[in-house]
Chain A
Amino acid sequence: MKFFRKKTETGPRIIGIFEYVDDLLGAIGSVRKKGIGIDTVYSPMRIDEIGEALGARPSPVRFFALVGAITGIAIGFGLSIYTVVQWRFLVSGKPIVPLVPFIIVGFEFCILFGVLFTLLGLFLLTRLPRFRIPSYYDPRFSQDRFGLVVECPEDQKEDIANMLKLAGAESVHDGTA
């Protein structure tokens, strides 16, 4: 599965709408076996089996979280140390740069920036916020139906539509925008 996609929501597409998840998984398998590209699979909730059928890998959002957490630790310690060296006050007989209390500041910033970077990663990877919803999006996808969007050349449209119907699609329609 590709994580970063080109903006290609205008090519020829066939949309299959499914009521049952096993039909959808069967259709994904058949389409992939034929070497045809799957553009998107819509579902009303997270279903791990769909990701597995599409060959999804763990999300790189993890790396955003890691970079954010390390950045946060650096900022937390950096802010504390930079501030205390401006004044150089001796507090409770401790060193000018007492690292133990700064661990708390570093920890809180680690969490804060870890979360902020995770959110940034989520937005970048999912391309959210999105201001235009694809015209073939069916509102039932957020309720009780599954959608399979298949990229296909004009001359194969009929074959693919038949294949989706055979797999159990409730309805199939042309989704070319």
Chain B
Amino acid sequence: MHNEFTYTSLNEKVIGSLYKPGLRYWFFVALAFLCLAVGMTSWGYQIAVGMGVSGDNHPVMWGTYLINFVFWVGIAHSGTLISAILYLFGAPWRNPLARAAEAMTVFAVLTAGLFPLIHLGRVWLVYWILPYPNQRDLWPNFQSPLVFDVIAISTYLTVSLLFWYTGLVPDLANVRDRSEGMRRKIFGFFSLGWTGTDREWVHHGWAYLLFAAFATPLVISVHSVVSWDFSLGVSPGWHSTIFAPYFVAGAIHSGLAMVLTLLIPLRFIYGFENILTMRIFENVAKTIIFTGIIMAYSYLTEYFIAWYSGNTYERFIFAWRAIGAYTVQFWIMIIFNAVIPFLFYFKKIRTNLITLFSISILINIGMWCERFVIILSTPAREFDPYSWGLFKGPSPIEYGIMLGSFGMFFFFFLLFAKFLPSMAISELKEELPLPRRGREGEQNRK
């Protein structure tokens, strides 16, 4: 963040973004809502008619629903990760990104959490899968990664939401103090009567630090648990110990790309050029190079181990991924995730908003294709050729629901950017020089 800000000008800049958005904003809100409506209609149709309309069939039963679930869980990762890990390490470029990235996490987990419900078919019986001793004689298998998943994702949603909200409270009080009428009442209610006393800051600081300390291992555990949904199955292409770190790195890779996808337009729309500086985007791009290296290493390791193991089935599935029915998605995955990110080695590319934004979109497409390849290839070509089959979709209903998931995510994010401070004001103020009577603080005078 640039240091020419004063406390007052920073306040005005961020809180000013809560007022009077232009027509362009409402156009995007309407577009996102339209996509959401398409998704809701598609899901409603599937509930009314039955799961057959999804087109998912034996042997590739999961279809795009699980691809989207893993994709959105992955997107959810970087928000809390950026906020928590960078907070623990005291990285100065964290603060301008943190609030929007945390919001991204919350909305992405909410979106991800819908897909298991969508794929259930009879969604009203969802409580049957909750793991608790029950009178219905349903047996919750606590050795199953799917049960781990229910616990991990719901914990992640709760923790991410509380982490986000706790950081937001001082800023909600700030908005309350600059508002009148109904807006003041609403912000007054959600700011919980925060006044910024010394005690509040001391306890809040410690609680926030502890939240970050709890959230960091949680982030790593959640996508590890998601990876075990596959790797605990004894199937070629899945049954590998590399899956947990590979999935976690992939999640961070896609999450960082989504941070760029969201924040570059946000910077443009609200004129946050002096807060979301090019140096911050450059740091995100450098981190993407790092995660890109891990992705490339993971892809190579998978192939090496498949060859080195001498296992016929492993060798076959990995060869089939590269030259079989899903070859297009496979090569998109390789090129977009493990080759294109290295363009960020060039300073000109990582300091240009258009190339940053374009590459972030390509990485997201690449990560979606990665999930496609992992999730759909193994059930299509398991041990017995008699049970082989291909994924025939996506069907129109699957396309509708996929579009709806993107609509829901962007709809929530747009509402967040309009109704809540999208930058952590109190944390950004900590970056400014303290107002002192001496020369040191002169620049921060009103």
Contact = CB atoms under 8 A, between A and B. Distances in A.
Nearest to B15: A143
A102 B201 CA distance: 37
B247 to A, nearest CB: 15
B8 A50 contact: no
Given A108-B152, A122-B166, A129-B193, A94 B206 contact: no
B170 A142 contact: yes
Interface residues of A, number: 72
Nearest to B6: A144
Interface string A39-55: 01111111101110010
B99 to A, nearest CB: 14
Contact of A112 (B158, B193, B429, B445): B158
A91 interface: yes
Chain A at the B interface: SS class: helix
A116 B207 CA distance: 11
Given A44-B196, A108-B151, A131-B193, A51 B201 contact: yes
Nearest to A18: B435
A20 B441 contact: yes
Contacts of A175: none
A132 interface: yes
Interface string B189-217: 00011111111111111110011001101
B11 interface: yes
A143 B8 contact: yes
Nearest to B9: A144
Given A1-B198, A50-B201, 12 more contacts: A1-B199, A3-B199, A19-B446, A20-B437, A40-B197, A91-B141, A112-B159, A115-B163, A115-B215, A122-B204, A128-B194, A130-B192
Interface of A: 1, 3, 5, 19-23, 40-47, 49-51, 54, 56, 58-59, 61-62, 65, 69, 79-80, 82-84, 86-87, 89, 91-92, 94, 98, 101-102, 104-105, 107-109, 111-112, 114-116, 118-119, 121-122, 125-126, 128-134, 137, 139-144, 168
Interface of B: 6-8, 11, 131-133, 139-143, 147-148, 151-152, 155, 158-159, 162-163, 166, 170, 173-174, 176-178, 192-207, 210-211, 214-215, 217-218, 221, 225, 426-427, 429-430, 434-438, 441, 445-446
